[in-house]
Amino acid sequence: MDVFLLFSGGKDSSLSAILLEPFFNVTLVTCNFGWKETWKPAKNVASELGFPHEVLRIDGAVLESAYSIALCDGYPNHAIDYIHLRALRCVASAHPGCAIADGTRRDDRVPMLKLPDAQRLEDRYGCTYIRPLLGYGRRAVDTLVAAHLEIVEDESEKIEKSDYETELRAIIEERCSSEMVRTIFPMHAQSRVVRRGLQR
Amino acid sequence: MDVFLLFSGGKDSSLSAILLEPFFNVTLVTCNFGWKETWKPAKNVASELGFPHEVLRIDGAVLESAYSIALCDGYPNHAIDYIHLRALRCVASAHPGCAIADGTRRDDRVPMLKLPDAQRLEDRYGCTYIRPLLGYGRRAVDTLVAAHLEIVEDESEKIEKSDYETELRAIIEERCSSEMVRTIFPMHAQSRVVRRGLQR
C-alpha cells in the first residue's frame, strides 16, 4: 500500500518513515505555501534517507489565516494545528484512496488531531490515516532515534527546517518584526537529521 | 532493545508483534491467573508466528477483583481495564529496564490507558511503554492484517482465545451461570490467528 507521509526533515517524521518502511511504499511529502522555499532541507534529508520526496503546494490563504491566529493568540499552537489539519486534507486530496501519515507522537501537544478529527478525516476523504509514532513516548522515540538516525541539535532559529513553523516565522518577521517572532515562538532546542545511523 | 508484548493470540497483538519485529527483540507474554489454562492458544499462535513466548502468572486476587467489578457493573469494560493495567505492571516488574508493549489500537475503547496513566506507568516502573497500533485505525489495521496474517472469524464463544476475557468468563460461569456470562459479554465476532499470511 502507498503511504504519503508529511515530512519536515526532523527526527519524528524521519523515524516515522523508517517505522513504515518495512510495511508500505513510503513517499515523503513536504508542504509549502509559496511564501519561502522552505522545502529544500526536507528534500535533502529525504534523499539521505533514501525515500522518494514531493513538495505539495498549499493555498497561501491557509498561511494567512494561521498568521492571524498566531498573532491573535500570541503563541503558535492553534495556528500550527490549523495548518496541520489542512496539510493532511491536502495530501489526502492529492492522493485519493491512499494512506496518509504524519510524525505526531504520544506526548506531543501540537500538532495533534483528536480522535474524532482523525476519524472524520478518514471518513471525509476516504483515506487511511496512520500515525506510526502515536504509541511511542519520549523514551521509546529517543531509543529508536539513537539506533536509526544521526542527528544534530541546536537552537530553533539556527536549524534549517521545513516544518510549518518556518514559513509562519517568515511571514511574521516580514509583516511584524523578528522581535514578534521571538515572542510567539520561544527559543527551544531543535534537531536536524543528517543521515541514517548505524543500526545497533 | 528487548520488548515484552502482551499477547492474546488475537490479530491486534499478532500484528503488533509483526510491526515491532524489524526494530526490537520481541518476546510475547500471555498473562494467566491460574484459574484456567487459557494461555495455550496464544502459545500456539506465537509458535506459528515464530516469536518466543512466555506465560506470566498474575495474582489471582486481580481476577477476583475484576470479577466483582464486572458483576457490579453488568458489563466488562472497567474489569478489563483493571486487569490490563495490572498485567502491564506485572510485565514491567518481571522485566526491569525493558520495553513493554500491548496491542491496543486507535479506535479501541477497552482496554485503553489514558495518556497520564501511560506516563505514570513509565515513571513508576522505569519502563518504556509502546503501543505500535495506537496510531492505526480500523482501515489501516484491516489492510495490514490482510497482508500479514491468515485469520478465521467466529462468534466470541466459539473461538479459543487467551485474552483476559476468557478467564473472566470462566470465573463468572463457575460462580454464577453461563446466562450471566452472556449478559455481561454480549456475543460479538472474534478472530483467531492461524499463521502469517503471504505478504502481498
Q: What is the CATH number of the domain that holds A129?
A: 3.40.50.620
Chain B residues with CB under 8 Å of A134 CB are 106, 131, 134-135
Q: What is the pLDDT of residue A11?
A: 94
Q: What is the pLDDT of residue B142?
A: 96
| Angle at A187 (CA atoms; ends B120, A65), nearest 5 degrees | 95
Mean pLDDT by 10 residues, chain A (200 residues): 96 97 98 92 96 97 97 97 97 96 95 96 97 97 96 76 90 96 87 82
Residue of B nearest to A98 (CA): B140
| pLDDT above 90: residue B187 | no
Q: What is the pLDDT of residue A79?
A: 97
Subunit contact B99:A140, Cβ cutoff 8 A: yes
| Residue A131 to residue B106: CA distance in whole angstroms | 10
The DSSP secondary-structure symbol of B126 reads T
| Residue A171 to residue A182: CA distance in whole angstroms | 13
Q: Which stretch of DSSP H or E encloses residue A4? A: strand A2-6
Contact between B122 and A139 under an 8 Å Cβ cutoff? The reply is yes
For chain A, say whether B24 makes contact (Cβ under 8 Å).
Answer: no
Q: CB-CB: which of B1, B133, B137 is closest to A135?
A: B133
Subunit contact A115:B136, Cβ cutoff 8 A: no
Q: Report the candidate in B150, B151, B199 with the shortest Cα–Cα distance to residue B22.
A: B199
Give tens-digit pLDDT for B57-92.
999 999 999 999 999 999 999 999 999 999 999 999
Which of B:117-146 have CB within 8 Å of A? 118-119, 122, 128-137, 139-140, 143-144
HSE-CB of B38 using CA atoms within 13 angstroms? 28
Subunit contact B106:A122, Cβ cutoff 8 A: no
Subunit contact B106:A134, Cβ cutoff 8 A: yes
Q: Report the candidate in B160, B157, B152 with the shortest Cα–Cα distance to residue B37.
A: B160
Subunit contact B130:A128, Cβ cutoff 8 A: no
* Per-position b or e across B114-129, b if 16+ CB within 10 A of its CB: eeeebbebbeebebbb
To the nearest whole angstrom, how far is the Cα of B131 from the nearest Cα of chain A?
4
| Residue A102 to residue A45: CA distance in whole angstroms | 16
Subunit contact B137:A143, Cβ cutoff 8 A: no
For chain B, say whether A171 makes contact (Cβ under 8 Å).
Answer: no
Overall size of chain A counted in residues: 200
Contact between A42 and A30 under an 8 Å Cβ cutoff? The reply is yes
Which runs of consecutive H residues, i.e. helices, occur in A74-192?
Answer: 77-94, 115-125, 138-148, 164-175, 178-184
Confidence of residue B156 (pLDDT cuts 50, 70, 90): low
Grid coordinates representing B146? 490482510
Number of domains in chain A: 1
Q: Which domain holds residue B86?
A: 2-196
To the nearest whole angstrom, how far is the Cα of A162 from the nearest Cα of chain B?
23
Q: State ipTM.
A: 0.94
Which of A139, A144, A148 should we substitute to test contact with B (largest number of B Cβ atoms within 10 Å)? A139
Strand stretches in A24-144, DSSP E: 25-32, 53-57, 99-101, 128-130
Give the Å distances, CA to CA, from A25 to A4, A41, A159: 8, 22, 29
For chain B, say whether A160 makes contact (Cβ under 8 Å).
Answer: no
Q: CB-CB: which of A122, A136, A148 is closest to B130?
A: A136
Q: What is the pLDDT of residue B104?
A: 97
Residue B134 carries which side chain, given as an amino acid letter? L
Subunit contact A135:B135, Cβ cutoff 8 A: yes
Give tens-digit pLDDT for B119-145.
999 999 999 999 999 999 999 999 999
Average pLDDT, rounded, for chain B: 94
Subunit contact A128:B143, Cβ cutoff 8 A: yes
Look-up of cell digits 495530501:
A91
Lowest mean pLDDT among A154-163, B40-49, B186-195: A154-163
Residue A76 preceded by cis peptide, ω within 30: no
